[in-house]
Structure 1
Amino acid sequence: MGGAERNARKKRQQQQAARAITQARGGGDTKKIIAIVAGVVVLAALVIGGVLWTNASKNKTEGQDIPTAGLTAPGPGVVEKRDGVVVTVGKPGATKTIDIYADFLCPACGNFEKLYGEQIHQQVNDGKLQVKYHMLPMLNRASSPPGYSVESANAALAAADAGKFSLFHDALFRAQPEEGKRGYDKAQLIKLGQDLGITGPEFGNAVTVGTYSAQITSEFDKTADNQQLWHPGAQGFQTPTVVRDGKVVDVKPGWLGQ
């Protein structure tokens, strides 16, 4: 083997060794790259999963029927009457009258119903109490999309025209949507009325066109500006508010018996 050939072979061996070293070093970089890519993929999966979970949670009322099982209709002799945007429920000659201002989306109102709803119904059925319900859009911007507070209040008034206010009212609070999330759309509200036995087309039409929506909004504006309806020490109107004999009631255990 001549010197030229030996030099060429040595050069090839050096080049092969250099490539091997580069590949070995590159292999480490490749592993790092693979690890980074895998991490990014996992992170992306977590983000996508979180978004999907958030959307599912936010829209969990979509496509759901509002449950009616377990609801109890008012007892014999109880009359439901709508007067403007106020619905009065009770027996003629009841010894006490209270006004309840509430919002179907308001969590505190939902808790109020859980704590005192059955007691109120019992006193109404016993002829001791008459209740004037003012369903207001306090949190109208707090649903997604906005507007559920007005639409649910409007539907409740339409249900009152059909003699189903109490059942409709109780159904919406028992299956209350979460504040900041999706409420029930008009089709779901109409379906609830139908499930409660409302058969006439007037109810569905009233829900669809928002027959009472403008009146509800106007009444809320007046109510919110009436400082006599503000809780002591409060900086504004809030729901729920209970009024008896023109004064805001301090709702605490035993208040119904006072």
Structure 2
Amino acid sequence: MMMAAVRKSTNWFAIGITAAVVVVVLVVGGVVWFANSQATSPGTLPQSSAVNTETGAISVGAGEKTVDTYVDFMCPICNQFEQSYGPTLDQLVADNEITLNVHPISILDRASQGTQYSTRSANAAYCVAVDDASNIPAFVKAMYAQQPTENTSGLDNAALASIATSAGASDAVTSCIDDGTYSKFVTAMTQKTPVQPGQSGIATPTIAVDGTVLSNQSDLTGDPQKDIVGRLNG
């Protein structure tokens, strides 16, 4: 008695459904990856020889040693730091002893009634740096001279552009400021701010002397000769 061979038919419907599921998973995964990459992307990079696009530093001077300042233009303590330490830092730059790396960051947007003043003002600093980085010292000083108080709306874009041009920048910065060209870059660089010793989160001002991050609580005494010059020469 001959036995008929059993033939298995291919279930093309099931294979088609499986393939479709794989495609959907890949598409969803791609969308999630793209959304995450967009959220963490630094956006448009400020192209200037004075700007380090990896750290966000705007360099002033060309000294061998470094002082890094991480500042939020709405931070009143940053303004106090500028008044106390700024003249000494300016002299160290002028004497070619340091490169001053200014990091404009944004941690106080919550204190500007929804106008994102910290981000807008930091963006303006990069606009000035790209236009002509030699105007950054004058711009920073002018920003502190007209610093708005916390929990106000801050300066509008027209005022930021006026400060920038008064510091020597060209009119080209106006559109850069209005467009928020480097806003995403500001956000990305803010996340790279080093945490001070003993702290759990970033704060402003944060100061680093030759790469060593100082503590606002114990290392900044108000004496720039001791806190900055002494460490540079120590």
TM-score normalised to structure 1 length: 0.63
For the residues of structure 1 that align with 2:197 and 2:51, how far apart are their CA atoms? 30
The DSSP-based 3-state class of the residue aligned with 1:81 is: coil
2:170 aligns with 199
Distance in 2 between residues matched to 1:220 and 1:186, nearest whole Å:
21
1:113 is aligned to 82
- 1:210 aligned to 180, 190, 197, which one? 180
Q: Percent identity between the aligned chains?
A: 34
Alignment of 1:232 with 2:202, yes or no, is: no
Offset at residue 200 of structure 1 (A): 4.0
AA matched with 2:228: L
- The letter of the residue matching 1:212 is Y
Distance 2:82 2:70 in 1: 12
Aligned to 1:241: 206
1:256 paired with 2:221, answer no
Matches within 5 A, 1:155-194: 155-163=124-132, 164-194=135-165
- Provide the rounded CA distance (Å) in 1 between the counterparts of 2:77 and 2:119: 17
Aligned length: 172
Q: Letter of the 1:89 partner, please give it.
A: V
Do 2:123 and 2:181's aligned partners in 1 also have CA atoms closer than 8 Å? yes
Alignment partners' CA distance in 1, 2:108 and 2:146: 17
Please provide the CA RMSD for this pair.
1.8
CA distance in 1, matches of 2:201, 2:136: 28
Number of the residue aligned with 1:90:
61
Normalised by the length of structure 2, the TM-score is 0.69
Corresponding position of 1:99: 68
1:138 lines up with 2:103 in the alignment: no
Distance 2:169 2:189 in 1: 26
Deviations 1:200-251 (A, max 9, x none): 42x111101111100110121233xxxxx22222221111111123321222
| SS of aligned partner of 2:77 | helix
2:65–2:210 CA contact under 8 A, matched in 1:
no
Match of 2:34 in 1: none
Deviation at 1:165, TM superposition (A): 1.2
Mapped to 1, the partners of 2:202 and 2:131 lie a distance apart of 30
Deviation at 1:193, TM superposition (A): 1.9
Using the alignment, how far apart are the partners of 1:204 and 1:245 within structure 2?
35
Distance 1:145 1:239, change over 3 A: same
Structure 1 unaligned runs (5+)? 1-79, 224-228
The CA deviation string for residues 47-92 of structure 1, in whole angstroms up to 9 with x for no partner, is xxxxxxxxxxxxxxxxxxxxxxxxxxxxxxxxx812323200013x
Provide the residue aligned with 2:7 in structure 1. Answer: none
Q: Deviations over 1:153-185 (max 9, x none)?
A: 000111112221111111001221101112111
Q: 1 CA distance for matches of 2:210 and 2:98?
A: 13
> 1:131 corresponds to which letter in structure 2?
L
Q: Secondary structure at the match of 2:111?
A: coil
